[in-house]
A and B are shown apart, each in its own frame.
Chain A
Amino acid sequence: MAETKRDVPRVIPEHFNPPVASEVVEVDGHPYLQTNEGMFTFYKRTKGEFSAYFLGLRDEAKIYGIKCPQCGTVRVPPFALMCPDCDFAQMESVEMPDRGVMNSTPPITYFAHSLFQSWVPFGRGRVVLDGADTALPIHVYTTQGVLTPFIFEKGTPVKVVFRDERQGKPTDIFAVPMAELAPEQQAKSPLLESDLDFSEPPEPVLGEATDEDRAAFARAVEMLKELSAGVDASPRARHNLAGWRRLIEVKTAAGGLVLKIDDGSLEVAEGRRTEPADFVMLCAEPQLLVDWMTFKEALTNAIITGRLWISINREFTTIFKLDRLPRSVHRDMQARG
């Protein structure tokens, strides 16, 4: 019988399920009926011949590959039992090391759909483990703040890290740059997620402020205060920040300020924080803040291009919410006339 306790994680989360409903949409004066529908099938799906690999991840914190006794090719993950290049010769399981190099520069996903929203930003790369001939698909992360496209590249040495709680899935492991690890972490096998510290990465160094920077900072502070007032008057903007609470320390070459998001409101204060911030936003050029509020640059784009750094990777979601504010405020102002 299916588990019915409400707090058990669901294959399809409850909130994904829309209500039964229909509506009429008019196009060029003609009515068209549309209905809420879904296409869903549940499975008890076997991992079959891949079971040993996934059980290895889950129960042993080990990575297994498969080696052809004829051509010697080592395939990781072990995606076939027989070698297609040697007339389907039976291959043998081999234990692999937890280190290797990036096969190529990996893409970074910043804008994910609902199933993967909680992970962003994440890199989906491929690592050639030492001794392997094929590349293992794997998430890549950095311990040094937000993930950007410039951290991993072809040939970057990496270490595979095991999650503390594993389920026998590809997400049980991820890779980090070997250069970010202490020697004892590099040597440890398995290295667990809890062995790493993601909380206080070293901050990029800010340069000397120019006169332009100082002027831009003053303008940014003024505009942020206007934005704060605008959020209070904008249902869209309040909705953007609904249920969200964050204290953000913003640092620029020309000075710092604090942003406080509190369930639909945005407060701005100049200077340094007096209580621990949830994360740091750091941009050398305060002009970026002006550009964001004048629709010239998205903060999310600034992260991708390296103009903006944040200390905690998962706080990209907060940046995404901030990005929406100027436009929401503007749209509601227009609606009010």
Chain B
Amino acid sequence: MRRVGIVGAGITPCKSHWMERTYYGLSQMAVKACLEDAATSVKDVDAVVYGIYNDIFELAAIPEHPLHGIIGMTNKPGMRVTNGGATGAYAMLAAYTFIASGLYDTVLALGVERATDCFDFESMTETPEVIKTIGWSADTFFERELGWTASDSYAEVVLAYMDDHPGDLKPEVSARIAEILCQQAKNNAFAQRRDEVVTAEMAMSSRYVVYPFKLLEMCVYSEGAGAVLFASEDKAKAIARNAGLPVVWVTGLGASNEHHVAGPDYKTHKYMGRIWSDHIASHKAYEMAGVKDPLEEIQVVELHDAFIKQLQITMGEMGFVPIGKTDALIEEEIMTPGGKLLVNPSGGLTFGGHFVGGSNMFSCWSARRELIQRQLERGLVHGTGSTVAQYGVAMVLERSE
């Protein structure tokens, strides 16, 4: 396989609702920002991979087709990826593969999503309709009609984890993580909740949406777009030289999709108390990158924090803390300010924003930015998605001058 690097990234501001732009306009904004960052032209891009999660959000089947011409890719190949919450991460995996295989030299991964065009005319608010729209993602024969939602699906995993590890995921720890992410979002000019102040006390006392998830400890709905430009080794070095920025190499990639039906053994079904998809994906990525001890060898993690308690479990699955003792993230000051590990410096999906098809591009944009600006060596980008955290993707990034 050929070596693949990231040479540009751009995102739009994350907003709860973009009245001023459609997903066409958002896509153009992100692509323009990405190519400006790379100081290159779309004429030099060989192919594009689109990450768009849900047709209903865009009110369109084949929602990527009107984007192709308007982002300057006429007559070039374009492929859409849709993989639930992990759509963006899988789209980047596809972009990587296009290059590693030798098929193309420069590939754009563009993620975009609407959400709050959906509107519930009974309550005259957006949220119930957004929840309903995501609800069509469940198994439509055995689960959707039971009232499946994304929140209760992840709550199911977290509750099962708490069955096995009743001493972990203490409320004050999750609340403190919310506070830290809120503070970190202030360093992200594109963050949706940049101006909000959420203290641990506020998070602790916020109401339950679905037990054990509290309102201030879960991600928001966002609209926005993000683009990441991948390139083969020679191209990457040339683009980076021209842009005056280092190449951030993709040195490890892993992905895993679990079974969607619950059973006692993760090898044949979903073991509800674990997120094996995150475990398998991250450890495959570590193996590829030669990472033996992630806590010692990785400095920044941009993790798909759909819910704070899920963030904790995922950090356990990815080997930064032991499963069953993920409260160590706070209690041993691993991710507190000045701690060993920078976790979601963008504010994460909780405070930064979560435009589903492009959220992982948002995470990648942030991880790359931190690697370059703080002169760090190695980062990790993570995506999770589908019912019961079925999908997991992990990507190891390394900076070189």
Kindly list chain B residues whose C-beta atoms are within 8 Å of the C-beta of A110. Answer: 208, 210
Contact A134 B263 (CB under 8 A): yes
Q: Which of A9-49 contact B (CB under 8 A)?
A: 15-16, 18, 25, 27-28, 30, 32, 34, 36-37, 39, 47
Q: How far is the CA of A137 from the CA of B262 in the complex (A)?
A: 9
Chain B 135-165 near chain A by CB (<8 Å), digits 1 or 0 = 1000101110111110111011001101100
Kindly list chain A residues whose C-beta atoms are within 8 Å of the C-beta of B273. Answer: 104
Most B C-beta atoms less than 10 A away, residue of A103, A298, A300: A103
Contact A73 B20 (CB under 8 A): no
Contact B262 A134 (CB under 8 A): yes
Stretch of A114-122, A211-219, A257-265, A282-290 contacting B (4+ beta carbons < 8 Å): A114-122
Q: Which of B110-140 contact A (CB under 8 A)?
A: 120-123, 128-129, 131-132, 135, 139
A210 at the interface (CB under 8 A from B): no
Determine the residue in chain B with the shortest Cβ distance to A25.
B19
Q: How far is the CA of A77 from the CA of B269 in the complex (A)?
A: 13
Contact B262 A135 (CB under 8 A): yes
Report A29 CB to chain B, min CB distance, Å: 11
Report A46 CB to chain B, min CB distance, Å: 11
- Interface residue tally on B, bucketed by range: 35 or more
Contact A106 B147 (CB under 8 A): no
Which of A103, A104, A113, A139 is B131 in contact with, Cβ under 8 Å? A113
Q: Which of A124-181 contact B (CB under 8 A)?
A: 124, 126, 133-135, 137-139, 149, 153-154, 169-171
Kindly list chain B residues whose C-beta atoms are within 8 Å of the C-beta of A107. Answer: 151-153, 155-156, 159, 210-211
Chain A 89-116 near chain B by CB (<8 Å), digits 1 or 0 = 0000000000000011111111111111
Contact A169 B145 (CB under 8 A): yes
B264 at the interface (CB under 8 A from A): yes
Contact A112 B147 (CB under 8 A): yes
Report A112 CB to chain B, min CB distance, Å: 6
Report B148 CB to chain A, min CB distance, Å: 7
Kindly list chain A residues whose C-beta atoms are within 8 Å of the C-beta of B20. Answer: 27-28, 30, 32
Kindly list chain B residues whose C-beta atoms are within 8 Å of the C-beta of A108. Answer: 210-211
Contact A16 B122 (CB under 8 A): yes
Determine the residue in chain B with the shortest Cβ distance to A134.
B263
Q: How far is the CA of A73 from the CA of B259 in the complex (A)?
A: 15
Kindly list chain A residues whose C-beta atoms are within 8 Å of the C-beta of B393. Answer: none
Contact B262 A103 (CB under 8 A): yes
Most B C-beta atoms less than 10 A away, residue of A27, A85, A301: A301
Kindly list chain B residues whose C-beta atoms are within 8 Å of the C-beta of A105. Answer: 159-160, 162-163
Contact A124 B148 (CB under 8 A): yes
B56 at the interface (CB under 8 A from A): yes
Q: How far is the CA of A111 from the CA of B209 in the complex (A)?
A: 7
- Given A16-B121, A16-B122, residue A137 in contact with residue B211 (CB < 8 A): no
Q: How far is the CA of A25 from the CA of B155 in the complex (A)?
A: 37
Kindly list chain B residues whose C-beta atoms are within 8 Å of the C-beta of A16. Answer: 121-122
Kindly list chain A residues whose C-beta atoms are within 8 Å of the C-beta of B141. Answer: 47, 50, 79, 170
Which of B146, B162, B207 is A138 in contact with, Cβ under 8 Å? B146
Q: Which residues of B contact A (CB under 8 A)?
A: 19-20, 56, 59, 120-123, 128-129, 131-132, 135, 139, 141-143, 145-149, 151-153, 155-156, 159-160, 162-163, 207-212, 261-264, 268-269, 272-273
